[in-house]
Amino acid sequence: MYISKECRDTIKIKIILKNGSLLFCSSIFFHVIAVLFGAPFLESSAETFHFGMTMSATVVVPALCVMGTNTVQWIRIFAQNSPELGVESIVYFSTICSIVGSWLGAFPIPLDWDRPWQEWPITCVVGTLFGYCTGVIIGAAHLYINYNRIKRIKIT
């Protein structure tokens, strides 16, 4: 199908705008969630928003890159837990792991070790990034194992 150059440009701009606004909304969403989970409401809201942006960068951006704004795809992958082996499965694992990582990141905060890094949201941000990395590694391992299995099945 042929699409004229200007048309392609408008589509691109549209997509960029759409995804950008989605990203912004998701940052706000994660900010709100952080506050609801117990982050301070007014103080250090810049830091909280920073956390929200990190979350959306590890949770939403990969998914947006792979699936775009197609809701059906999102439903299939996240609500029905059936990502296709490949990029989708890696995104699936990395997303879940970064959420779990940020959740676990909250645990050192109340401890009385008096370390400067115990300040909100440092541990959570670090947890998110660690979770993301772990997710990617798990995804890769999962891909490797299953790919080999499928290949074997196909060969035999």
Of 110 and 116, nearer to other proteins (C-beta) is 110
Q: Select from 116, 109, 93 the least CA-distant residue to 37.
A: 109
Residue 11 is a binding residue for other proteins (CB under 8 A) = no
Q: How far apart are CA 148 and CA 9, in angstroms?
A: 41
Of 74 and 140, nearer to other proteins (C-beta) is 74
Q: How far apart are CA 125 and CA 137, in angstroms?
A: 19
Q: What three-state secondary structure class fits 84?
A: coil
Residue 37 is a binding residue for other proteins (CB under 8 A) = yes
* Contact letters for other proteins, residues 64-103 (x by CB under 8 A): ------x-xx-xx--xx----------------------x
Least distance CB 117 / other proteins (angstroms): 15
DSSP for residue 112: T
Residue 137 is a binding residue for other proteins (CB under 8 A) = no
Q: Report whether 32 contacts 64 (CB < 8 A).
A: no
Give the binding site for other proteins (CB under 8 A): 32-33, 35-38, 70, 72-73, 75-76, 79-80, 103, 106, 110-112
